[in-house]
């Protein structure tokens, strides 16, 4: 129906997935960093708030948008945001 938004639409932020993967990779390499759910959540939020969102419909465009997430500049931006998030949150954990 015109004017109604379906509640069960599959809309995802591809940046969230990329930040989660990158955060996991970096935390595996570090010791002495708290990885409790609250700290992980804070790191995710910190990084995501510093990166542009990449929303796509799960049914359309997901594959095309994923290709854009692998470019060097985009990957470098994600890594920089994640490294900064780890540093900031680990220096002042909120748990």
Query: Per residue in 67-91, pLDDT tens?
Result: 555 678 889 999 999 999 999 999 9
* Residue 1 covered by a domain: no
* Residue 5 covered by a domain: no
What pTM did the predictor assign? 0.80
* Residue 16 covered by a domain: yes
* Residue 3 covered by a domain: no
Query: Per residue in 37-70, pLDDT tens?
Result: 999 999 999 999 999 998 888 765 555 555 555 6
* Residue 53 covered by a domain: yes
Q: How far is 78 from 87, CA to CA, in rounded Å?
A: 14
Number of domains in the chain: 1
- Domain containing 67 equals 11-91
């Amino acid at each position: 129906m015109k004017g109604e938004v379906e509640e069960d639409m599959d809309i995802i932020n591809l940046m969230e997935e990329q930040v989660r993967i990158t955060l996991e990779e970096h935390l595996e390499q570090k010791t002495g960093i708290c990885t409790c759910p609250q700290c992980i959540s804070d790191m995710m939020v910190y990084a995501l708030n510093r990166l542009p969102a990449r929303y796509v419909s799960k049914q359309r465009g997901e594959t095309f948008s994923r290709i854009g997430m692998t470019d060097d500049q985009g990957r470098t931006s994600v890594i920089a945001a994640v490294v900064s998030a780890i540093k900031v949150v680990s220096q002042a954990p909120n748990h």
